[in-house]
Amino acid sequence: MYQVKDLDWTDSYDTIVVGIGAADTIDEGLDALYNGRVKSLIQSADISTKTGELSIVPTFEGTVKRILFVGLGQRNENTTENVRNWFGKVAKEIKARAFTDVAIALETFESNGALFAEAYEMATYEHPTYKSAPKDSAAEVTITLLGNVDQTEVEKGAARGRGVNVARKLTMMPANILTAEALADYAVELAERHGFNHRIVEKEEMEGLGMGALLAVNQGSKLPPKLIVLEYNGAGEEAPIAVVGKGVTFDTGGYSIKPKDGIVGMKGDMGGAATVIGLFETLATTKPAVNVLGVIPATDNMISGDAFKPDDVITAMNGKTIEVLNTDAEGRLVLADAVTFAKTYDPQAIIDVATLTGGVLVALGTDVTGCLTNDDALYGALEEASRETNELVWQMPYFDVFINKVRKSEVADLNNSPGRFGHMIFGGAFVGEFVGDTPWLHLDIAGTSERPAANELGPKGPTGVMVRTLSTLLDGWNR
C-alpha cells in the first residue's frame, strides 16, 4: 500500500498532498503545475495557508490531476502532534473522496513517512458493526511517500496504527461475542500468525496455582476464566518486560452492582487487555530488541448465587489474604494474580494497564492517563515515549499513607477498597502490593480508553490508548 519515491513534480498522480505555510517560498516545480499562479491562488483564498485547513485545487498543466493543500500557518506550529493531526485530516479526506492514487510530498511538511502511515491507519479506521446491511468496502488506495523515506520506518509507523486499531476493535466488541474464551482464541490466532509463543491457563490450572483472587471474580459467571500468556522474543535469554492487561469482558459490579447508567459500556472494561493484544500486533513488525511477556486475566464479573460478596475473604496466588469490601473493585483482584504470575518469569519490569477506576476520570479527565510507579527512571522513560506519541500521562502520588490504608483490615492482609477519596491511587497501590521490588508502572486508562467524540485520528469510542506509547517505550528500552 505504501510506496516510496523521490519527489518529482512531473510524475503522474491523481492527487498530491502538499503542506504550505503562510511565508513559504513557492517551489518552482509546484508553481509550474499552476502556470506560476500559486501565489495568486493563495491571495484569492483558493488555497488556504491557515493552520490545518485543506484546499483541493485542480491543476492546469502536467500529469497531476489535483493537489490537496494543507495549511501550515507560520510553520512555528509545525509540531509533531500538529503534523500527525493534519495527516489524519488528509487521510479522512482521501477516504471520503475515494481517491485511489495519492502521493504525499513529505518534505513540504518537514516530516517523515512513519508519522503519515501511523496517522493514516488510525484516521481511516471504522468501528465494526453488526447491522444486517454491511457497508460498502472502501476503495483501495495506493499511497506514494515522496522524499528521503525509510521504508522500514514507514512499515513500523503503519504497524503502530494497526495495533491501535486492533485494540479499538476488541474494546468495541459486545460482551456476548467477546467472551473470555473468544478473547483467548483471538490472542492465540494472533500468536500463531506472528510466530509468538503462547499459553492459555485454564480454570483447573488456576486452582492448582492458587489464583483465588481471579477465581473469586469469576465465581458468579457461567463462563470459565482464561489467563492468556503471550511471549515475544527479541533478545535471546534476557529477562522480559511484562505487560499485564485487565481483561474483564463485562463488569456488572457484582453485588456492589453498578447503576443502570454506569453499567452501559462495561463491555469496554477489557481495554487494558486490548492494549496488550494491540501491542503484540505491533511487535511483529517493529521487532524491538527486548523480550516481552503479555499476561491477560480474562473473565466477566457477574451476579449469581455463586458470586463473591462483600465481606468475603479470599486468598491470592502469592498467599496474601484479601477482605472484599467492594465487588466492583474487581480489576485490582484479577491484576493481583496476573502480576504474581508474571513475576514467575523474573521480569525486568512490570507494566499493568487497566480501565481500573472512575477516580482517574475525576482527577485527570479523558485526555490524560494516570500512573503510579515505584521507579522514577522507568516513569521518566514512559513520559518521554508519551510525549512522542502525545498519549499524555501524569504521575500520581504513591505514598505510604495510601499503601497503609490498603493494608488496613482486621481480618485479612489487605482490603480491596479503602474508600472513595483517592480510590484511583488505592487501586494502583493495591496492585503494587503484589509487585514487590520489581520496577513497576501502573497505567489507569479508565479515562482515556474511550473518547466522547471523533477527532482527526479516529472515531468516537475506543481509542486503543497506550499501544503506541508502550511500543515506543520498548523500541528505546535501555535499562
Taking only the tens place, the pLDDT of each residue in 420-452 is: 899 999 999 999 999 999 999 999 999 999 999
| Res. 136 pLDDT band, cuts 50 70 90 | confident
Q: Are 229 and 295 in contact (CB under 8 A)?
A: yes
* pLDDT beyond 80 at 134: no
Q: What is the mean pLDDT of residues 211-227?
A: 98
Residue in 139, 38, 133 with CA at minimum distance from that of residue 95: 139
Taking only the tens place, the pLDDT of each residue in 276-292 is: 999 999 999 999 999 99
* pLDDT beyond 70 at 479: no
| Res. 158 pLDDT band, cuts 50 70 90 | very high
Q: What is the mean pLDDT of residues 197-201?
A: 98
Residue in 329, 308, 351 with CA at minimum distance from that of residue 440: 351
Residues pairing with 74 in the sheet: none
Which of 214-242 are b and which e, b meaning 16 or more Cβ less than 10 Å from the residue's Cβ? bbbbbbbbebbbbbbbbbbebeeeeebbb
Q: What is the mean pLDDT of residues 110-134?
A: 94
Q: What is the CA radius of gyration of the chain?
A: 24
CB atoms within 10 A of CB 452: 7
CATH number, span 2-148? 3.40.220.10
Q: What is the mean pLDDT of residues 105-119?
A: 95
Q: How do the domains of the chain map onto residue ranges? A: 2-148, 160-475
Active site residue 408: no
Beta strands in 234-377 (DSSP E): 241-245, 247-251, 291-301, 313-315, 321-323, 349-354, 369-373
Residues pairing with 52 in the sheet: none
Taking only the tens place, the pLDDT of each residue in 336-385 is: 999 999 999 999 999 999 999 999 999 999 999 999 999 999 999 999 99
| Residues in CB range of 177: below 8 A, 6 or more apart | none
Taking only the tens place, the pLDDT of each residue in 8-37 is: 999 999 999 999 999 899 999 999 999 999
Q: What is the mean pLDDT of residues 397-417?
A: 97
Which residue in the list 95, 258, 287, 405 is annotated as catalytic? 258
Q: What is the mean pLDDT of residues 232-240?
A: 97
Q: Are 445 and 465 in contact (CB under 8 A)?
A: yes
Q: What is the mean pLDDT of the chain?
A: 96
* pLDDT beyond 90 at 387: yes
CATH of 160-475, one of 3.40.1190.20, 3.40.50.12780, 1.20.140.10, 3.40.630.10: 3.40.630.10
Angle (CA) 450-189-277 rounded to 5° is 30
Which residue in the list 332, 343, 451, 468 is annotated as catalytic? 332
Q: How far apart are CA 238 and CA 235, in angstroms?
A: 6
Q: Establish whether domains 2-148 and 160-475 are of one fold.
A: no
Give me the pLDDT at residue 75, please: 85
Distance of CA 99 to the CA centre of its chain: 28
Residue in 374, 423, 430 with CA at minimum distance from that of residue 403: 430
* pLDDT beyond 80 at 476: yes
* pLDDT beyond 90 at 226: yes
Active site residue 332: yes
Q: How far apart are CA 289 and CA 129, in angstroms?
A: 37
